[in-house]
Amino acid sequence: MTNLTKPITKQIIKTRGESLENDLRALLYNERFFDIKLNVLMVSFWEHVKIFYPLVIEFDKIDSNAMEFILNFLYTCEIDLEKLTIDNIIEIYHATEYFELDIL
pLDDT digits (tens, 9 = 90+) for 31-84: 666 655 555 555 455 454 555 555 566 778 888 888 888 888 887 888 888 889
Would you list the domain boundaries of the chain?
Answer: 5-99
SS3 content of the chain, % helix, strand, coil (to 5): 55, 15, 30
Which segments of the chain are extended strands (E)? 36-40, 43-47, 56-59
Query: Which candidate, 78, 92, 62, 72, places its Cα nearest to that of 28?
Result: 72
Higher-pLDDT residue of 23 and 78 is 78
Beta pairing, strands 43-47 & 56-59: unpaired
Answer whether residue 8 shows pLDDT above 80. Answer: no
Could you tell me which CATH number the domain at 5-99 has? Answer: 3.30.710.10
- What's the pLDDT score for residue 51? 54
In which band, very low, low, confident or very high, does the pLDDT at 93 lie, cut at 50, 70 and 90?
A: very high
Give the list of residues 6+ apart from residue 53 with CB closer than 8 angstroms, or none. Answer: none
Q: What is the strand order of the sheet 43-47 is part of?
A: 43-47, 36-40, 56-59
pLDDT over 50 at 11, yes or no? no
- The pLDDT score that the predictor gives to residue 1 is 47
Q: How confident is the model at residue 91 (pLDDT cuts 50, 70, 90)?
A: very high
